[in-house]
A and B are shown apart, each in its own frame.
Chain A
Amino acid sequence: MLSPFEESLLSIMMIIIMFGMGASLTFRDFRIAFKQPRAIAVGFSSQYALMPLIAFGLSWLLNLTPAQTVGMVLIGCMPGGTTSNIFAYFSRSLLSLSIMMTICSTLAAFVMVPLLMQLYTQGIDEALRIPPDQIARLLFALLIPTLIGIWLRRKNANIGAVVELTGGILGALVIIFLLATWVPRNWQLLLTTPWTVYIAVIMVGLIGFNFGYFFSRLLGLNPQKSRTVSLETGIQNGPLAALIVSLSFSGSVQQEILLIPVMYSLFIVLNSTAATFFYRKWTFREELARDQAKIEPASTGSPAP
């Protein structure tokens, strides 16, 4: 389903994008993110508590086949994808928080994914172990270019800004290219896929966005952080799920399960683009409103002037 060329294009895309995103960050951004451990904790629990449950619930409601259910739950258990960072960036959400969440959830994936898979897909667990070297490779792909980007920006703000811009544009171009080549080649497959699968892969992302947002608001995060958590929750690492499936299964079972992560990846791009436009406008409006908002007196409880 994914050609080797497409797979390597995916990795190159990730590297360029992380490089560009690193260039948009300073260490101070990370320090600010760590000043709110609560935001990271909330994001972590929405990622690993809400999403698997949503994926499992959808499969059960739509009466998916066991193989499709495995695919769905796997998507639900995945850590946040780098795609979420791109969309966080374009939607003017808190990029640093998004990246911190991606890093934390990816690190935790070593433990959490096998555990959750065991819980939700009892009976098929043995074959669905997550290959640790795959995760290590991903982390590598994620961290090194990011660090180089951060360093570059410190070194020279102009180069940093150009790299940041190029990374963003190239990233978008590669995604469009992948979609444009994959969809025509797999047209037949898309036509024969049952509608329940469409509903499942589209809804898992959308419900994730909504739950992520309201869950964070409920736990007292501000709207901007909640939007970041929302994107991070809804957007899962689809390509990683696809890789795991292709490494763990073969033949027609592989095809059947693989369909889910691939279709998810396809639709999450569309879903996230819509969410991004919406959030972007929202953020901009908030920024202007914050400009004009009056600030609270320094000492609480002091009388109004």
Chain B
Amino acid sequence: MSNDAVYDQAPWVKLYSPAQLALHQGQAKSSHHWHSIPEMLSESAAKYGAQKAFTTCMPNGMNGSLTYAQVDEMSTAFAHYLRAELGLQAGDRVAVQMPNCLSLPVAVMGVLKSGCILTSVNPLYKRREMKHQFCDAGVKAIIVCDMFTDKLQDILEQTPIKHVVVSSLAQWFPPVVRGVLKLVLKYWNQVIPKHQLSHHDMDQALNLGRQRQKEQNLNIKDYWQGLTRADTALLQYTGGTTGVAKGAVLSHGNLLGNVEQMDSLVQGHLLSGQETVLTALPLYHIFAFSVNLLEFWHQGAHNILVPSPRPIQNCQRAFDNYPISWMTGVNTLYNALLNEEWFTAFPPKHLKVALAGGAALHATVAERWEKAINCPLVEGYGLTESSPVLCFNPLTAPRPDCIGIPTPGTQMRLVDDQGQTVPLGQPGELIAKGVQIMQGYWQQPEETAHALRDGWLYTGDIAIMQPDGRLRLVDRKKDLILVSGFNVYPNEVEEAIAGLEQVQESAVVGVPDPLTGEQVQAYVVLREEGLDAATLIKHCKKELAAYKIPKKVVFVAELPKTPVGKVLRKDVRAMALGQSTAA
């Protein structure tokens, strides 16, 4: 049997539940006949109307909530505002730049219902990054949180943006609380800058939308009835770690396909209309967007939005005041929670499953979680380009240190540099084909041709598949270091270094070496004094083969990171190159 055939047989299907198997074989009971996301949104709104959909919970416990019916009505009004008031057309790009708060789902759903294309913007972006995204996507209107209007104002004229809607964290909180919260944000925290943007407030925008609807007797369905699964829903910018950000084009079908796949994963573990999900991850990120916003809206869950989970204490009131039964997080978030006494002394009683993704989940964190918190911490894997879920651990039998098996309906192979499939058990670049794979990068034919070949998404991640079909991630392909022809995976070296008590974190990179081609260098952040390079190298010698041992160790105060906290190895590498030429 050829290597291709081994993977194409999908050895992991034995681990599927009957529902997952049915979806995989394309025989799922067709309960999901949606043509577009607005159809799915409306269906849930009708089903769960009076139930609470979103609650924003501030660090001091102040909160505001919206029901499914309210979000539905408001997002409809917002769609009318975009189309009838501002005169936007289907397919026009609208940006949403907000931390987690009540306005975000209203704005996002409004944009999708209007038939426009959504693009989520990281609120922590600097002016240059914002400008790039607005110009690249050709954004015509933006909904921005009042905390970031100063940045927008500075670059607005250099962008195609014509319309600005300003909202606030305190939007739709009860009146007195809203007033107090605004005062605190403005005068105590001083996070609300002054601005002279010509704009509408969120409430104004909704009222204008409602007015138009009444006067012109508009029907919201007219905006999206013609949409199909092939139409673009979202431009999700990514690639901060490789260079200039590019927009992954995700269609309604990509996102809905992923929702259906997630449905099959949680089936039997989740009670529709009765769950409470903690959203501490930012919704502008694809992980929280697809899982927390889309999937849990579809399931009728009550979404608890935490505007900022740093410091992690900010989540305490959310756990105190709401019966959190599901949550999503990244390794750093779970790590931070486990360091909190209030969390571990009385772990949330109702918590059923904690989902991890975004970055590799450390084995120690998973292990501690299982012991301290009486619920599984389940790791999945995905990329912005795959809407995002590609792999998951079956909820009934999650395994630490593995990203699980491909989602139902996904084809997967591991290939070498020539694109040849590697034998099972060998490391290779993970490539995938499926309903959730993006259409391409926005106006980047070359990048698209590089990432998508014959319908296969080349993830750039190196993985190993075990005989039962479970996958283990090894490293990013582009971070691979070649020492005298031997592959060194930085992750492996970093893990070895992490075994030292004094080390907080490290980044391992390769720089050119006249003798060995490349040499391994380690950039290390210490959490306490008292470790020198010689001791570190001695420790590595015990753990690693000779060619993997760092040639040079540099102690630094901090490592360059992306806004979500991933270490930017390319910047570390630049640092290393700069230093080696200077030296």
Binding site for B on A (CB under 8 A): 24, 26, 28-29, 31-32, 35, 153, 157-158, 160-162, 164-165, 284, 287-299, 303-305
Contacts and interface: CB of A to CB of B under 8 A. Distances in A.
Contacts of A164: 60
What are the nearest 10 A-B pairs in CB distance?
A304-B499, A287-B311, A157-B61, A291-B336, A298-B371, A161-B62, A298-B368, A298-B367, A290-B339, A161-B61
B346 A31 contact: yes
Q: Which of A31, A158, A287, A298 has the most chain B CB within a 10 Å cutoff?
A: A158
B336 A158 contact: no
B484 interface: no
A11 to B, nearest CB: 26
Contacts of B336: 290-292
19 contacts: A24-B60, A32-B342, A32-B346, A153-B61, A157-B63, A288-B310, A290-B311, A290-B336, A290-B340, A291-B310, A291-B312, A292-B336, A293-B335, A295-B364, A295-B368, A298-B371, A299-B367, A303-B499, A305-B364
A161 B177 contact: yes
A50 to B, nearest CB: 26
Given A292-B336, A305-B499, 8 more contacts: A157-B62, A291-B335, A292-B504, A293-B527, A295-B368, A297-B364, A304-B499, A305-B363
Nearest to A290: B339
Nearest to B310: A291
Interface of B: 57-58, 60-63, 173-174, 176-177, 180, 184, 310-313, 317, 320-321, 332, 335-336, 338-342, 345-346, 362-365, 367-368, 370-372, 495-496, 498-500, 504-505, 527
Contacts of B180: 162, 165
Contacts of A31: 345-346
Nearest to B345: A32
A35 B495 contact: no
A291 B57 CA distance: 20
A290 B344 CA distance: 14
Given A31-B346, A161-B58, A293 B339 contact: yes
Contact of A294 (B174, B340, B345, B498): B498
Nearest to A293: B339
B394 to A, nearest CB: 22
Task: Tell me whether chain B's interface is mostly helix, strand or loop, or mixed.
Answer: helix
A71 to B, nearest CB: 38
B320 A284 contact: no
Contacts of A294: 335, 362, 364, 498, 504-505, 527
Contacts of A24: 60
A258 B364 CA distance: 59
A71 B499 CA distance: 57
Contacts of B57: 157
A295 B339 contact: yes
B504 A293 contact: yes
Contact of A291 (B332, B363, B367): B332
Contacts of B368: 295-298
A294 B173 CA distance: 37
Contacts of B310: 288, 291
Contacts of B61: 153, 157-158, 160-161
A26 B346 CA distance: 12
B311 A295 contact: no
A212 to B, nearest CB: 21
A162 B179 CA distance: 10
A7 B321 CA distance: 38
A291 B309 CA distance: 10
A289 B505 CA distance: 12
Contact of A296 (B184, B364, B370, B504): B364
Nearest to B371: A298
A303 B498 CA distance: 12
Contact of A287 (B313, B335, B498, B527): B313
Contacts of B311: 284, 287-288, 290-291
Given A161-B58, A162-B180, A305-B495, A290 B320 contact: no
Contacts of A284: 311
Contacts of A35: 345
B499 A295 contact: no
B346 A297 contact: no
A295 B504 CA distance: 10
A305 B320 CA distance: 34
A293 to B, nearest CB: 6
Nearest to B525: A292
A171 to B, nearest CB: 16
Contacts of B338: 295
A26 B63 CA distance: 17
A289 B557 CA distance: 13
A26 B371 contact: no
Nearest to A304: B499
B340 A158 contact: no
Contacts of B500: 304
A297 B176 CA distance: 46
Contacts of B371: 298
Contacts of A298: 364, 367-368, 370-372
Contacts of B177: 158, 161-162
A198 to B, nearest CB: 34
Nearest to A166: B180
A304 B60 contact: no
